[in-house]
Structure 1
Amino acid sequence: MASVDVLTTGTGPGLVVIPGTTRRARHYQSLADALADRYTVHVIERRGRGKSPAQGDGYGLDAEITDVLEVLEETKSRQVFGHSYGGLVALHAALRTALDRVIVYEPATSINGSLPGGWLPRYEKLLADGHDARAMVHFLHALDMMPSGPAMVGVVWAMQHLTSEGRATRELLPTVPPEFHVAVELDSDGGRYSAVTAPALLLGGGRSPAYLLEVLHVLSQTIPRAQMIVTPEFDHNAPDLSAPKAVAELIRA
């Protein structure tokens, strides 16, 4: 049995989905449902979430890759889809095992210092001091995904305390630093990804931060069998929130 919990739906060839930072398996239910007539979709509940193991003191990318490889083996799947940090995991899983296809949506892959990391110390201090809303705004603002300021902190605080979705996201905030430390420490010139032998579909959105799209361009020129599609109206959360059915159509094509 795989170490992590897995949400499964659909019939057909297996497709393993790897969620991004602060995301749970259930956030990809709409994506899975839209693919269910073509694939058996296995969405991993990554470490630090639900019934899956905690990240633990020795957390690193190897733990995530091992979980993916276990799910691939157990489900006999030959394709993976990874979103954001899950995209980084997917690319490294593709370096470790033969796949029929690897699909990533704006992977948290740092190339030549592209992924911001200077925000982490303040984020960790805010979190340790119990300022969860300020920590989350600082995190998302540093990644160019949210405006900053007291009004935004107030909105996030209300969400974190008054909505079930906000409370669930708040619970995952401690998982952010270990994952981003991994991503930043893996910074490279991108050359390692030339060893990805599987066909790669690289997806992104025109409303996403520029540094994420720049990485997609580098990967498209580095991975031997890569196709890149940037959809102008998509943002970074297209797979899980804003356009899961449309992302599913790109995967199905």
Structure 2
Amino acid sequence: MTDMDVAVSADGTAISFRSTGQGPGLVVVPGNNRRAHHYERFMQALPRYRVHALDRRGRGASGPQGPAYSIEREVDDVLAVAAATGSELLFGHSYGGLIALHTVLRRPFSKLAAYDPGVSLDGSFDLTWLPDFARLLAAGRPHAAMATFTKRTGLVPIPPAPLAVHYGLAYLLLRGKDGADTLAMMPTTPGEIGEIARLDSDGSRYAAITTPTLLLTGTKVPAYIREVAPRLAAIMPDARCSVLPDADHNAPDLNRPSLVAAHVDAFLTARS
């Protein structure tokens, strides 16, 4: 059974979250274009924890990003949910992994696990598509914007294809069962991807993280993202990296949630 609750962030923004299970508190921070309910199977695969998944700003019953949006506001939100639930364990996926890293930079947790954290190292993320995405979205062309996103990011596990194929994929994504959710979340993308661009660095800031950390990625993840985890593991003083076989970028929420959960559980239960 999943319970719903709300925490209030430092700026007064309401942050909705769903909870399930019993045990030590584990906060799950979703990625871009994902909501708490997308991690339901991942949460159910961690029955020995009380798992709390956020609907981040701009999603569901949570408040909007707001004009002062930044990664720091996201960190405030995670800390508000952690305080409300007494949680000292943290998991972040994709952009949520970037948020999780900056959360433990501000305040150490007992343990952190992150799958494909959205960290750009020395310009590793090509974000030149973002102005076109924002322009198309502002012009009321969400299908064209989504096609630009899927083609230029390479996050959809399909062979290289012309833009017309991605238009077809965008149509399916925006008309499918999650279409309304996806359409509602798309306006949050420019702000979030803009933060990835703003925070691009050599990664040295993450050497200050003292929280024991597991960095996960998969063999089917695009190289520019897959290579982040081992680079971060070499920078962070108490981090390890695992590459999961046959896992793509959406392994935690869509394609291999039980596999990811098994690795997270083993890490969280192991003695440091």
TM-score relative to the length of structure 1:
0.96
Letter in 1 for 2:119: T
Moved more, 108-117 or 237-246: 108-117
Query: Residue in 2 aligned with 1:126?
Result: 136
Partner of 1:187: 200
Secondary structure at 1:27's aligned position in 2? helix
**Equivalent in the alignment of 1:217:** 230
Residues in 2 aligned to 1:182 and 1:134: alpha-carbon distance in whole angstroms: 22
How far off is 1:89 after superposition? Answer: 0.3
- Secondary structure of the corresponding residue to residue 121 of structure 2: coil
| Partner residue in 1 for 2:68 | 58
The aligned residue for residue 170 of structure 1 is 183
Q: Deviations over 1:124-148 (max 9, x none)?
A: 1111122211111111211122444
Could you tell which deviates more after superposition, 129-138 or 199-208? 129-138
Name the CA distance, whole Å, in 2 between partners of 1:206 and 1:155: 23
The number of equivalent residue pairs is: 251
Residue in 2 aligned with 1:6? 17
Q: In percent, how many aligned pairs have the same letter?
A: 43
Q: Deviations over 1:163-187 (max 9, x none)?
A: 2312221221111000000111001
Q: Secondary structure of 2:178's match?
A: helix
Q: Show structure 2 runs of 5+ residues with no match.
A: 1-6, 9-13, 267-272
> Which residue is 1:199 aligned to?
212
Q: Does 1:31 align with 2:45?
A: no
The secondary structure found in structure 2 opposite 1:189 is coil
The equivalent of 1:151 in structure 2 is: 165
Change in Cα spacing, 1:237 to 1:158, as seen in structure 2 (3 Å) is closer
Equivalent residue of 2:143, what SS? helix
Q: What is the one-letter code of the residue matched to 1:17?
A: V
Q: State the Cα deviation string for residues 185-215 of structure 1 (Å, max 9, x = none).
A: 0011000001110100000010001011221
Gaps of 5+ in 1: none
Q: Contact 1:138–1:148 (CA<8 Å) still a contact in 2? A: no
| Structure 2 Cα separation of the partners of residues 153 and 132 of structure 1 | 10
Instruction: Indicate conservation of the 8 Å contact 1:87/1:105, yes or no.
Output: yes
1:57–1:191 distance in 2 versus 1, CA, 3 Å: same
Cα deviation, residue 155, structure 1: 3.5
Deviation at 1:158, TM superposition (A): 4.0
Q: Distance in 1 between matches of 2:207 and 2:252?
A: 25
